[in-house]
Amino acid sequence: MKKRHLAMLLSKLRGFENPKPYLEQYRTPGDVASSLLWLAYTSGDIEGKVVADFGAGTGVLSIGAKLLGARKVYAVEIDPEALSVARENAEAVGVDVEFVLADVSDFGEKVDTVIMNPPFGSQRRHADRPFLLKAFEVGDVVYSIHLSKPEVRKFIQSFVTEHGFTITNRLTVSFEIPMQFHFHRKALERIPVDIYRFEKSLANSTER
């Protein structure tokens, strides 16, 4: 599978039926999802690995990870409606994903890699914190997407370091958000986002 092919396939999946603004339900665009997944795949963090997708929504990242050879993928999502779309998407593609209907904070499995497109915190401030906290608790390598703004970058840098992780990669891409909520003014908005790879710092990993 090529990166471009993956992007195309993922962009054809079903989106949110009834997107909920307070949960910041924006589906990850195919090209953004495939950029994150490709970075993870080429870094050796997907093939044969146990992966968790936090705030899996419509399942875009989970399905992509499975297509790239993940051994097992947990799709963790709090909204049953979204999870049923993800289930249909996985079935349509013919991949086997482990769906977990739960708040990310309650997820208890250890995994090799966490992938996620968490709420950006534009509706509820710091909505991405529980996602990062849990990811640092259960994974050694974490991929995440955040707004590409100076204040967000500053927060990410210090939060990640405080929790014993290091930023190894940062990739800035354009994220297309279609008009779907009442507070949106444009038919299509493009916002710059950063795709990160975080890795547990060496000093910490010796504890395990």
User: Which residues would be at the binding site for ligand SAH (CB under 6 A)?
Assistant: 23-28, 55-58, 60-61, 76-79, 82, 103-104, 117, 119, 130
Return the CA Rg of the chain. 16
Q: Which residues contact 2 (CB under 8 A, 6 or more apart)?
A: none
196: its two tokens: 């990160």
Instruction: Let me know if 162 is exposed, middle or buried by CB neighbors in 10 A (0-12, 13-18, 19+).
Output: exposed
Smaller CB separation from ligand SAH, 166 or 176: 176
Smaller CB separation from ligand SAH, 75 or 141: 75
Tell the smallest beta-carbon distance from residue 73 to ligand SAH (Å): 12
Smaller CB separation from ligand SAH, 83 or 141: 83
Tell the smallest beta-carbon distance from residue 42 to ligand SAH (Å): 20
Instruction: Beginning with the edge strand found earlier in the chain, give each strand of the sheet holding 141-147 in spatial order.
Output: 98-101, 72-77, 50-54, 113-116, 141-147, 188-200, 165-178
Smaller CB separation from ligand SAH, 27 or 49: 27
Residue type at 145 in one-letter notation: I
Tell the smallest beta-carbon distance from residue 76 to ligand SAH (Å): 6
Tell the smallest beta-carbon distance from residue 57 to ligand SAH (Å): 2
